[in-house]
Amino acid sequence: MPKVNFLPDNVTVDVSKDENLLRAAMQGEVHISATCGGVGTCGKCRVVLEKGELETTDTELLTDEEKKKGYRLACLCKVKSDAELRIPVEARRGERAVLDRLREAAAFGVMLSTEDIHALVDFKVDPLIQKVYVEVEKPSLSNNTDDLSRLEQTLKKKGYEDLSIDYDILVDLAEKLREGDFKITVSIMTLDNNHTIVRIDSSDTTKSNLALAFDIGTTTLYAEVIDLISGDILGKASDYNPQISFGEDVITRIVFSVKENGLKKLQKAVIGDFNKLAKEALEKSGRKIEEVSIITAAGNTTMAHLFLGISPKNIRQEPYIPTVTHWPAIKTSKVGLKSPKSSRTFVLPGRASYVGGDVTAGVLASGMYKSDKLTLYLDVGTNGEIVLGNKEWLMACSCSAGPAFEGGTIQHGCRATLGAIEQVRLNWEDHEPMILTIGQAKPIGICGSGLITALAELFLAKVINPRGKINLNLETKRTRKGKSGAEYVLVNKEDAKIDRDIVITEVDIDNLIRAKAAVYAGITTLLDNAGITIDDVEQAYIAGGFGNYLELDKAMLIGLFPETDGSKVKFLGNGSLLGARLAAISAKAHKELNDIARRMTYIELSVDPTFMDRYMAALFLPHTDVKLFPTVKKLMEGGG
């Protein structure tokens, strides 16, 4: 691992080979002005190479003379070996020692790779619908058994007994057999040891079997194309959930669903978008919709009901009873999804009205349900969903955080997509920002991870106070009064891809503080219900569609996550989508999801008398009781 040393602060950072130099500086909390997001157009991220080797993209923003003297633009450099860089004009970020201590206390949450996650749970590719190639004995006058019986006898030799067959398939059976000269591929769905023939192809199509895995988020929809032969992800697509125009949270959507045609409109919107996303993801993978056998879909209980056009109205009324939590296999064509009529949709099982298939999906992907270690699982989405437990017991709760961490209700919030600002640093003296975007493309907005770091950095640089109020008396042009009140200008219009400044407003900050307060209150209420503290937790997984980076130290600094030893915490990515993917590739995973859902004890936060008090107390950065965040307290006091 190359080491990069930044002077004059003498900060050394271990980075992987080819790491972007600006990202390395971010990692080491070394401030370099960077306002274009790492695109190479603002020309501000100047560094001087003193030792070592960098791969540099040429730029006209530096003169030949400067290049000879070793000047480089950090965002255009990849680290090739150990290197030493000097930041030309020193820009201190304040008390380094204290920042380092915070970093030590809460190291970056480790981002798990797809391989890590598959290793955690170790499911083999063994899907619920499998394809079998068979050569059926041709009929003759001496062998005049009917077509279906002869097919059943052939499949029996392959281990499939007591088969049933879909009526639709039976209608075409004789023709398909003869079309393929009795050499055919049979798709067989196996559920609870019952086998059903769901499709017949009149050729060998065993090499082509696909699944679509969907995450039905309240704010964001994700789709993946998965190869059911290798288990590989072939293509992805995502978009905001179009149901947002009918209401931002599940409650307003339930209210809308009971209006005339409300349910139909909500279902049509989400299914229409998934058809679009599936098309896009399939095009990216160069595959066809005809190859799809399985669709798995994970979402909270309300989203799952709306996805299938089932009324969620009782979820909202005491005693809060959904129509279904353990879903049967559903013929995809019935739902309106564009997919072969033989394909089946499997909605992941949930536990209760407010702990749905997205949570069981994350619990499955984390492997916590079969771990000896006491584990905390947190999914930060429009709802904060929290699970505590291990292989012996599981306890879950859900709190409404709102869509802020997914970019909703934030003026320049956006999904974690190309050009989204995902990391932010602020200079403590001149309050100038250092930003990095996904794909180092021109900034379009701020995604969840960017919002968390931006909030933390604004607080650290004292641009905002613990109540989230912006100080308009600072000597900087970055803070100003905008149309909707005080705001901080993160990106000037000329550096942005959109035709206006990218700002964070006081209203945005207020929404973020409410969201983090709800999540923190949910975590601490659940811990209290279990009679333990965060220190008793042996490992923690954080899930959410943040993007590639979740800086745990910044999440603790704003009081989203309790202060704890960061080495216990791992970042799982989108837990709901991961679970949907595992259920697509593995019948065993599908079965275990049902077991997880049955095992979870559900804690209803709305009837817990302490939840609201905890929420109110957390409406501060990091918290009204700063003693709960000792490292942040020291940082705020400016001491070590």
* Residue ranges in contact with ligand FES by CB under 6 A: 34, 36, 38, 40-45, 73, 75
Residue 43 C-beta: closest distance to ligand FES, Å: 5
| Distance of closest approach, residue 505 Cβ to ligand FES, in angstroms | 24
CB of 289 to ligand FES, least distance (A): 41
Is 41 or 548 the residue whose CB approaches ligand FES more closely?
A: 41
Shortest Cβ distance from residue 414 to ligand FES (Å)?
A: 19
Classify residue 10 as exposed, middle or buried by CB count within 10 Å of its CB (0-12, 13-18, 19+): exposed
Say if residue 513 is exposed, middle or buried (CB neighbours under 10 Å; 0-12, 13-18, 19+): buried
Looking at the Cβ atoms of 44 and 480, the one nearer to ligand FES is 44
Residue whose pair of structure tokens reads 């056998």 in the numeric block: 293
Query: Taking the complex as a whole, how short is the minimal distance between the CB of residue 440 and ligand FES, in angstroms?
Result: 8
* Least distance to ligand FES, CB of residue 18, Å: 17
Largest interatomic CA distance in the chain:
98
Other C-beta atoms closer than 10 Å to the C-beta of 278 total 23
Distance CA 580, CA 297 (A): 6
Contact call for residues 537 and 175 (beta carbons, < 8 A):
no
Quote the least distance from Cβ 288 to ligand FES, whole Å. Answer: 41
Nearer to ligand FES (CB atom), residue 37 or residue 566: 37
DSSP-assigned states of every residue in 626-640: GGGSHHHHHHHTT--
User: Is the Cβ of residue 356 or residue 443 nearer to ligand FES in the bound state?
Assistant: 443
In the complex with ligand FES, which residue's Cβ is closer, 173 or 498? Answer: 498
Q: Which is nearer to ligand FES, 57 or 203 (CB)?
A: 57
Please state, in angstroms and rounded to a whole number, the distance separating the CA atoms of residues 575 and 541: 9
Residue with tokens 């895995």: 213
Please say which residue, 264 or 477, places its beta carbon nearer to ligand FES.
477
b/e map of 529-552 (b: 16 or more CB within 10 Å)?
bbeeebeebebbbbbbbbbebbbb
> Minimum distance from CB of 29 to ligand FES (Å)?
17
Query: 128 or 496: whose CB is closer to ligand FES?
Result: 496
* Cβ count within 10 A of residue 491: 27
Q: What is the DSSP string of 46-63?
A: EEEEEEEEEEE---TTS-
Nearest to ligand FES of 76, 169 (CB atom): 76
Residue 217 burial (10 A CB sphere; 0-12, 13-18, 19+):
buried
Q: Is the peptide bond before 88 cis (omega within 30 degrees of 0)?
A: no
Is the bond preceding 433 in cis, omega lying within 30 degrees of 0? no
Nearer to ligand FES, 38 or 384 (CB): 38
Nearer to ligand FES, 41 or 196 (CB): 41
Which of 85, 464 has the CB closer to ligand FES? 85
Nearest distance from residue 72's CB to ligand FES, in Å?
Answer: 10
Nearest distance from residue 63's CB to ligand FES, in Å?
15
In angstroms, what is the minimal distance from the CB of 38 to ligand FES? 5
Q: Give alpha helix (H) positions in 69-196.
A: 96-105, 114-121, 147-157, 167-179
Give the closest residue to 594 by CA, choosing from 404, 252, 351, 284. 351
The secondary element (H helix, E strand) that includes residue 602 is strand 600-602
**What separation, in Å, do the N-terminal and C-terminal C-alpha atoms of the chain show?**
30
**Sign of the Cα pseudo-torsion (427, 433, 435, 441, in order):** negative
Shortest CB 551 distance to ligand FES, Å: 19
Q: What residue type is assigned to position 284 of the chain?
A: K
CA atoms of 414 and 430, how far apart (whole Å): 27
CB of 81: closest distance to ligand FES in angstroms? 21
Nearer to ligand FES, 211 or 496 (CB): 496
H-helix or E-strand spanning residue 577:
helix 575-585
In the bound state with ligand FES, the residue whose beta carbon lies nearer, of 40 and 522, is 40
Nearest distance from C-beta of residue 56 to ligand FES, angstroms: 12
Q: Determine the length of the chain.
A: 640
CA distance 47 to 412: 30
Would you list the DSSP string of 474-524?
A: SS-SSEEEETTEEEEEEE-GGGSSSSS-EEEEHHHHHHHHHHHHHHHHHHH
By C-beta, is 36 or 136 nearer to ligand FES? 36
Q: How far is the CB of 46 from ligand FES (least distance, A)?
A: 8
Q: How far apart are CA 423 and CA 598, in angstroms?
A: 39
Residue closer to ligand FES by CB (options 491, 519) is 491
**Per-residue DSSP letter, 315:** G
**To which residue do tokens 């194309």 refer?**
225
Q: How far apart are the C-alpha atoms of 188 and 131, rounded to whole Å?
A: 6
Least distance (Å) between residue 496 CB and ligand FES: 12
